[in-house]
Structure 1
């Protein structure tokens, strides 16, 4: 609880800061809290924590160097480049994307949640406020497109859920970077929906101790069919398949960003389509391994009594309609 408070305090310090140095201080406070949550008892978790620590320190040094260059008046013109490089390190944009699957593949589910959602808030908020233009804006567009393409191609053939979560996070990071440069309100709206979808998925996986497809067969206390259906709803929603809530994110993104970044929007939507393919492959693998042959009356009763399925249904299907209606009203 203390470390989670540190994460939230760091985010609030950065978002309420009046100077770039204070933003850096807030990011470091939140980073220390994340390190405390990530540090587990297994060797894999400790190794992933060390990898994450090294990468984030490099990103923080680049960001701080950019702040010092801007304040000192030396090498003017390089401060924005250093700031962007530091932010790319922190959120895992190309060519610094390599650490995301390596780190998240050995984390706990709550560590994945922190790295995949909470640690993106401040860097992307900075992206929306530094006012990129010219060659830097073109470079960020190229970086976003490469990140999304690598994220969708890297997930092909992967049946380890945390690795899939990492590659999916890369794709959604590309969406959020572009959205943050167009509309700050749109970025926070996207992030809020993305947070609830990931929270439901992480709760489902964590409570069942599932990390790969093979773990589904070891589930106790809930039928395999219910769990497969619940996880698949989250996966298809994150991939943007209508009429799920995740489709709202893609439509909302296109409505705000198409006029400013048409080529980037095409690449991001293509990457989302490819991610839908590997999510469908995962769904078929789960279905075959569970040996599901359809649900009868007893199965239906079990589904209705399962919080896995009910929470997945509310977040992914029933939540989509009011989201689209709110956008139409807005």
Structure 2
């Protein structure tokens, strides 16, 4: 997609809607910010792909329904009804984010989007709903466990890279929702996850990889495969890469709170996600490559930066954690 004035207008207004919701002190302005972001991301979703218009309509219908449920919860709260308005607002936000068990819509539309729109959908559009969930201050352990299980097990059977990344996002949402009572920890986890997803999206988009079997068919060079492997290991939480420490801190937090069921579920599902990331890497690098493994003479600018970011971020985060 070429950068032009229309693209800049929609992107800036989408970010303006997020900032408007985050800086608001009343529910109506939060709703207005959500709707502004929705109205600006819908034209960006429409691309040359044949299914993009269908995906746009699905997204609009689901988001409109969740906004209606959100307004219903706000009205019940304003009328002082003895009703679970917090649960209604929570339901609308989980539907808006695509958290399990409300995740079927995001899986059905993700195939019709390019990687950058998928990145926007899985990161930027989840900031405001997460802030609303943080302000609700409810115990969501059951939703967290279900989200972790769905994100880990459903990703094992996928062949599409977009669906694998989407189920990985659902899995990571379980961690983010659990640490929602600690804003600084949530921000750290969200930033590390967003950077990792952005790098994966860039490397897959630059090599035009959409399915697992394209690693076997396409002539992806070994340097790119090595970078993809590092990114996948980082997403799964393999030390000493970037994605390891946020998961470790959240699991440590759950142990300190004596949530042993959640802790056990986080560790078990993290192993399952590591399995399907490693399966992808074995397909791409070990089973199908005829190049000698030590013939890596030079890296491209993107590959070099991705490797530097992954290996240096973990010591930096540890330093910041213990300095505080």
Q: TM-score, normalised by structure 1?
A: 0.90
Partner of 1:128 in structure 2? 134
1:29 aligns with 2:23: no
Distance 2:306 2:183 in 1: 28
Distance 2:52 2:245 in 1: 34
Partner of 2:229 in structure 1? 232
Contact 1:227–1:308 under 8 Å retained in 2 = no
Partner of 2:189 in structure 1? 190
When the two chains are superposed, the root-mean-square deviation of aligned CA atoms in Å is: 1.8
Distance 1:152 1:108 in 2: 23
1:58 aligns with 2:65: yes
Partner of 1:148 in structure 2? 148
Distance 1:190 1:145 in 2: 18
Partner of 2:198 in structure 1? 199
1:225–1:50 Cα change, 3 Å: same
Q: TM-score, normalised by structure 2?
A: 0.92
Partner of 1:38 in structure 2? 45
1:114 aligns with 2:120: yes
Contact 1:240–1:246 under 8 Å retained in 2 = yes
Distance 1:110 1:289 in 2: 29
1:277 aligns with 2:284: no
Distance 2:222 2:290 in 1: 6
Partner of 2:171 in structure 1? 171
Distance 2:111 2:245 in 1: 28
Distance 1:324 1:273 in 2: 23
Q: CA deviation at 1:125?
A: 0.8
Distance 1:257 1:128 in 2: 17
Contact 1:225–1:290 under 8 Å retained in 2 = no
Q: Secondary structure at the match of 2:112?
A: coil
One of 275, 296, 321 as aligned partner of 2:315 = 321
Unaligned runs of 5+ in 1: none
Q: CA deviation at 1:47?
A: 1.9
Contact 2:20–2:33 under 8 Å retained in 1 = yes
Contact 1:7–1:34 under 8 Å retained in 2 = yes
Deviations 1:43-62 (A, max 9, x none): 22222222222211111111
Unaligned runs of 5+ in 2: 1-7
One of 239, 244, 249 as aligned partner of 1:242 = 239
Q: Secondary structure at the match of 1:40?
A: coil
1:82 aligns with 2:88: yes
Q: Secondary structure at the match of 1:127?
A: helix
Partner of 2:3 in structure 1? none
Q: CA deviation at 1:288?
A: 4.8
Partner of 2:74 in structure 1? 67
Distance 1:170 1:292 in 2: 35
Q: CA deviation at 1:218?
A: 6.4
Q: Secondary structure at the match of 1:156?
A: helix
Deviations 1:220-266 (A, max 9, x none): 7xx52112111111111011111111001111212334333442232
Q: Secondary structure at the match of 1:203?
A: helix
Contact 2:115–2:205 under 8 Å retained in 1 = yes
Deviations 1:72-125 (A, max 9, x none): 234x32211210110110111222111222222221101110111111111111
Partner of 1:286 in structure 2? 284
1:156–1:185 Cα change, 3 Å: same
Distance 1:58 1:309 in 2: 41
Report runs of 4+ in structure 1 exceeding 6 Å deviation. none
Distance 2:287 2:62 in 1: 37
